[in-house]
Amino acid sequence: MTAISVDIKQMGAAARAASRRLAASQSSVRNGALNAIASKLLEHEPEILAANEKDIAAARESGLGEHVIDRMVLNHDRIQAMADACGEIAALPDPIGVVLEERTMPNGLEIQRISVPLGVIGVIFESRPNVTIDITALCLKSGNGVILRGGKEALGANTVLARIAREAVKSVGLPEDVVQFVSTTDRALVGEMLSLDRYIDLIIPRGSAELVRFVGENATMPAITGGVGVCHTYVDAAADLDKALKVVVNAKTERPTVCNAMDTLLVHSSVADEFLPQLAREFGVSNVEMRADGKAMAALQDIATGVRVVPAQSDDFGQEFLALIAAVKVVDSMDEAMDHISEFGSGHSEAIITEDSETAERFLAEVDAAAVFANASTYFNDGGQFGLGAEVAISTSKLHARGPMGLREITTYKWVVRGNGQVRT
Amino acid sequence: MTAISVDIKQMGAAARAASRRLAASQSSVRNGALNAIASKLLEHEPEILAANEKDIAAARESGLGEHVIDRMVLNHDRIQAMADACGEIAALPDPIGVVLEERTMPNGLEIQRISVPLGVIGVIFESRPNVTIDITALCLKSGNGVILRGGKEALGANTVLARIAREAVKSVGLPEDVVQFVSTTDRALVGEMLSLDRYIDLIIPRGSAELVRFVGENATMPAITGGVGVCHTYVDAAADLDKALKVVVNAKTERPTVCNAMDTLLVHSSVADEFLPQLAREFGVSNVEMRADGKAMAALQDIATGVRVVPAQSDDFGQEFLALIAAVKVVDSMDEAMDHISEFGSGHSEAIITEDSETAERFLAEVDAAAVFANASTYFNDGGQFGLGAEVAISTSKLHARGPMGLREITTYKWVVRGNGQVRT
């Protein structure tokens, strides 16, 4: 074992021990820590910005693309936003100690099911330094210790941010070891972190599909698999085509690089000839490439040039594009659409556009995904949009949490039984 | 790939496809299937008993112990009990389609979180044939397909029971493929089953600690790890020793072979000299061996012969005995007891005996386990005893479900969003 191995194991053990004290702390103390982080962020703004500038200079030198650098950039507004997020999370109701159910049994045992922290959460994330603060705030609020491992591009800023968080935790009398930051980006460390099931209760990868897959396959502790969305929108025979146009364009173009963006459009054959040319014109304006199956190509044959329409290849269906590309397929029934979704979807976000409420209800009931939508954009699948407050991740796992994961989703529960000497015979 | 491999993959695919139809079925139809199983069990009693007799003869021939054979034996009462269990499960409220929360967002989106089946559940179990029916009934009730793989000793009876269940499912118009039975006990099949994450959403091992560990380490889908309980009872300085005696004896002796039986007794030093000799006399009557640490040995030095007291070895702490053996340790404070539990417990069932309610509340709050008890026996950690109805397993996982898993714990949820053309900007 190298020195590094010992360090991360020690971090795990320290986080585990400290998390027991955090779990037993008062809600007001944990909120105090969040508010302390908020003030310290503003106090240390020059130091944070200086570290961030160094990171960016190094990133430019190593030839990283401007879209990555754009996500890394911190400035006064972004630091203020991080501080505001801490304050907002502090103001949310305490997710732990909630009595989820209770009953008194005939033998007099009083049984409660009560929400408690998970323990220690490991988070592996990529370029955006604000994740360091967001995740730390959510973990502290919910009584969980956290081990953070950020991307190498943002190491300088992340190091300062994690130090500030630890100082804030200490300033309210909580053990600073509840926040651990892995200050090297040695790749081997990720593997070691994934082996620490003794200390880490849940691991959350936030980043590329590749990272999520690697973590899912190699973690010895439970991992949230999510963030990969192959999302469909089905425009039904009974759709209001104006609504359909608006919703499909929003789901594809508003933020094409996120997991809840539409990837494949399914259109009922009875409306394809009317709908697809209208859509192609809108997509032309937004520079969306359409990868159309045979029937969709036929419906699009007469449209003006300037619209990018190419024949779909077989691997276009079931692909998460994360770009201004949409696969398009014409179907003859909702059943065909649902079968397609069942085969190619990733269980993330699936939508139907229809004015026929019976059809809508069947789709909502039968399509198996974290979130199903009638007459709304898949882009709404988000903790904030669902009223959960901040979110840690969007899960496509079926167990534990599905869809947006807010504070409640990083807690567990325990059964608390109060008796008076009862025995079971 | 052998023919067997193809079979189990086909089973998985068939269960997956059929489970979609089951998930969309009415509660009354699923209850009808359970009631049909109940009547068919009684109808086919002679056939079931004949298959069971053959299994038992083969088991005796192969030299299996009488305690294993005892668990295998079916008779009229046990078949009636299986039928009754189906009826009771049918009478429980439908666990799916429950609106867990709902809200209307300012933009008019109506958002609901609704319970839905997990999909397909795989269960690997050992000798008791009634598990075939219990698990099938729980899965059908909750809209889940099930793939059953029982132990080889009970193969004959299990084959008949699974066939009866499939016939019953078919008789109410549901696809019989929602119930799949692996009719060979080839060991390689377990490995293949664990690789079918495409078709199986959750795998539940019910059996030895070795089986649970093997499944946990090798399953590609989520697995319930549980069933292994290293359970402690701490007798506090402020304990009512009569209650303590009654509860400790119950937790150790009522059913020593189950996971919620007490393994280690922790006694406060201020009551050890009074309590331990009393307990030793009771344990003597029940033939319990005490493995005592140095201080406990000292407290027990004057007791009569006939009581089995031996010095504890270091590996006695943290061991699940599943037998009439208890490790015994004297501690000087509740903190020392809680530290011991934190180090050696398996997060299953932990109890304190005390009349001091502040002490009890601290223990209940700070000990991290699926179930914590004040003044009651750990043997109460059970779905029926907690008012959940039948149980599938007792989970020591922290994610998804903790403690007894009833019908609700084999469901998941989805977010259902109804809009009127909303887009997100």
* DSSP three-state, residue A369: coil
Predicted local confidence at residue B303, as pLDDT? 79
Residue partners of A68: CB distance under 8 A and separation at least 6: A59, A127, A153
The tokens 């209307």 sit on which residue? B104
The tokens 């849940």 sit on which residue? A202
Residue A399 touches partner B, C-beta closer than 8 Å: yes
> What element of type H or E holds B417?
strand B411-422
pLDDT averaged over every residue in chain A: 93
Largest alpha-carbon pair distance within chain B? 82
User: Residue A57 to residues A50, A62, A78, B186: CA-CA distances in angstroms?
Assistant: 11, 9, 19, 61
| Cβ pair B181, B158 in contact under 8 A | yes
- Does A417 contact B373 at a Cβ distance shorter than 8 Å? yes
| Among candidates B202, B250, B417 on the partner chain, residue whose Cβ is nearest the Cβ of A399 | B202
Sheet holding B411-422, edge to edge: A309-311, A289-292, A325-331, A262-268, A231-235, A349-353, A371-376, B411-422, B110-117, B99-104
Mean pLDDT of B201-222: 88
Please state the φ and ψ torsions of residue B204, each to the nearest 5 degrees.
-120, 110
- Best of B20, B25, B358, B368 to disrupt the A interface (most A CBs within 10 Å) is B368
Taking the C-alpha atoms of residue A190 and residue A205, their distance in angstroms, rounded to an integer, is 11
Predicted local confidence at residue B2, as pLDDT? 45
User: How confident is the model over A116-136, as pLDDT tens digits?
Assistant: 999 999 999 987 899 999 999
pLDDT at A1 over 50: no
| Cβ pair B393, B344 in contact under 8 A | no
No. of helices (H) and no. of strands (E), chain A? 14, 16
- Does A342 contact B20 at a Cβ distance shorter than 8 Å? yes
Mean pLDDT of A282-303: 94
Mean pLDDT of B200-224: 88
Of A215-229, B89-103, B210-224, highest mean pLDDT? B89-103
- Does A368 contact B20 at a Cβ distance shorter than 8 Å? yes
Count CB neighbours of B314 within 10 A: 7
Taking the C-alpha atoms of residue B369 and residue A413, their distance in angstroms, rounded to an integer, is 9
Which candidate, B287, B280, B310, places its Cα nearest to that of B297?
A: B310
- Does B119 contact A398 at a Cβ distance shorter than 8 Å? yes
Q: Count residue pairs from A and B with Cβ separation < 8 A.
A: 205
Count CB neighbours of A292 within 10 A: 25
Amino acid at B19: S
Taking the C-alpha atoms of residue A80 and residue A101, their distance in angstroms, rounded to an integer, is 39
Task: Give the residues across from B331 on adjacent strands.
Answer: B268
Predicted local confidence at residue B1, as pLDDT? 39
Residue B27 touches partner A, C-beta closer than 8 Å: no
User: How confident is the model over A93-110, as pLDDT tens digits?
Assistant: 999 999 999 999 999 999
Task: Give the residues across from B120 on adjacent strands.
Answer: B145
Mean pLDDT of B20-49: 97
Mean pLDDT of B218-229: 86
CA-nearest residue to B241 within chain A is A421
- Does B419 contact A376 at a Cβ distance shorter than 8 Å? yes
Taking the C-alpha atoms of residue B260 and residue B255, their distance in angstroms, rounded to an integer, is 9
Which candidate, B417, B402, B375, places its Cα nearest to that of B247?
A: B375
Predicted local confidence at residue B3, as pLDDT? 47
Predicted local confidence at residue A5, as pLDDT? 58
> What element of type H or E holds A331?
strand A325-331
Global pTM value: 0.91
Per the model's pLDDT, the better-predicted residue between B187 and B110 turns out to be B110
Count CA within 13 A, CB hemisphere, residue A337. Answer: 31
Predicted local confidence at residue B373, as pLDDT? 98
> DSSP label at A200?
-
User: Residue B63 to residues A30, B67, B127, B153, B323: CA-CA distances in angstroms?
Assistant: 60, 12, 15, 11, 22
| Cβ pair A230, A345 in contact under 8 A | yes
Predicted local confidence at residue A3, as pLDDT? 47
- Alpha-carbon Rg for chain B in angstroms: 24
User: How confident is the model over B143-198, as pLDDT tens digits?
Assistant: 999 999 998 899 999 999 999 999 999 999 999 999 999 987 777 888 899 999 99
- Does B247 contact A380 at a Cβ distance shorter than 8 Å? no
Taking the C-alpha atoms of residue A384 and residue A393, their distance in angstroms, rounded to an integer, is 11
List of chain A residues whose C-beta atoms are within 8 Å of the C-beta of residue B425: 250, 254
The tokens 């980043």 sit on which residue? A207
List of chain B residues whose C-beta atoms are within 8 Å of the C-beta of residue A417: 371-374, 376, 380
User: How confident is the model over A21-80, as pLDDT tens digits?
Assistant: 999 999 999 999 999 999 999 999 999 999 999 999 999 999 988 878 888 999 999 999
User: Residue A412 to residues A25, A399, B164: CA-CA distances in angstroms?
Assistant: 17, 12, 38
Residue A254 touches partner B, C-beta closer than 8 Å: yes
Residue partners of A63: CB distance under 8 A and separation at least 6: none
Taking the C-alpha atoms of residue B418 and residue B411, their distance in angstroms, rounded to an integer, is 22
| Among candidates B379, B417, B421 on the partner chain, residue whose Cβ is nearest the Cβ of A371 | B417
How many residues in chain B? Answer: 425
Which candidate, B320, B237, B229, places its Cα nearest to that of B273?
A: B237
- Does B386 contact A415 at a Cβ distance shorter than 8 Å? yes
> What element of type H or E holds A340?
helix A334-344
Predicted local confidence at residue A6, as pLDDT? 60
- Does B422 contact A375 at a Cβ distance shorter than 8 Å? yes
Domains and CATH numbers, chain B: 3-225+401-418 (3.40.605.10), 231-385 (3.40.309.10)
pLDDT averaged over every residue in chain B: 93
Predicted local confidence at residue B305, as pLDDT? 65
Residue partners of A228: CB distance under 8 A and separation at least 6: A209, A212, A259, A320, A346, A348, A396
| Among candidates B360, B368, B415 on the partner chain, residue whose Cβ is nearest the Cβ of A386 | B415
